Amino acid sequence: MDSGRRRARILREAAALFIANGFSGVTMDDVQTAVGGSKATLYKYFSDKSDLFRSAVEMLIDERSQPLTSFHPSGGDPVETLKEFGRHFAAIVLDSGAIALHRLVTSEAERVDGLGQMFFQHGPAVGNAILGRYLGTLRDAGIIEVADPVLAASQLYQAMLGSLQMRLLMNTADRPTSQEIESSITHAVNTFVDGTRLRTPQPRAADATTR
C-alpha cells in the first residue's frame, strides 16, 4: 500500500472511531488496532492524537463540502434559484452524518487547537462564499441591493436552515419534516428578496406638481 493510501486509511478508521467515541474516548492504540501495523506508522503521518483528530475532521468536512463546490443551480428566476440553493444546502447540513460531525467539533473545539477555525473555513465559509458569489451577480445585475454579499449569504443561510439545524444538533424529538424544511427555505428567501430588491424611486409630490 502506497503512502497516500495508507494515510487515507488511517484517517478513515480514525474518523469512524472519533465520531463514535469522541476525542477523549479514542487512543492512538485504538487507531493502531483498527488500522493494523505499528504505532510508529501512525506517528510517521501524525505528530499526536490532536493532529490526527484535526486531519480526520478536515477530511470529513471537505468531503461534505465537495457537493457545494460542484453545485450549479439551474438559473432563471432568482427567487427559485435561491430556493434551489437552500434545498441543496439542506440535503448536506441536515444529514445525520453532518450533524454528528458538527456535534463532535463543537464539543472538542476548546480542547483541540485550531479545530474550530479549520471547521469554519472548510465548511460554513465555503457555503457562504458560493452563495455570496451568486448574490453578488444579482447585485451587479441591479436585481438586489446588498452591501456585503458574503455577509448577506450567511444571514440568508441562517434564516433558511439555522433553526432546523439547531433542532437536530440539540437532538430534539420534533425532527423537521420535508414540508417544514421547504416552508422555512421559501419563507426566508421571500423575506430576503422583498427586503433587498431594488425599487424604482417614485417622484416626490412637489416634483410631480412642477412638471
Span 77-117, pLDDT tens digits? 999 999 999 999 999 999 999 999 999 999 999 989 999 99
pLDDT for position 209: 47
Q: Which band of pLDDT confidence, cut at 50, 70 and 90, is reported for residue 204? A: low
pTM of the model: 0.85
Average pLDDT over residues 196-200: 71
Q: What is the DSSP string of the chain?
A: --HHHHHHHHHHHHHHHHHHHTTTT--HHHHHHHH-S-HHHHHHH-SSHHHHHHHHHHHHHHHHHHHHHT-----SSHHHHHHHHHHHHHHHHTSHHHHHHHHHHHHHTTTSTTHHHHHHHHTHHHHHHHHHHHHHHHHHTTSB--S-HHHHHHHHHIIIIIHHHHHHHTT-SSPPPHHHHHHHHHHHHHHHHHHHB--PPPPPHHHHHT-
pLDDT for position 202: 47
Average confidence score pLDDT of the chain: 91
Checking if the pLDDT of 146 tops 70, the result is: yes
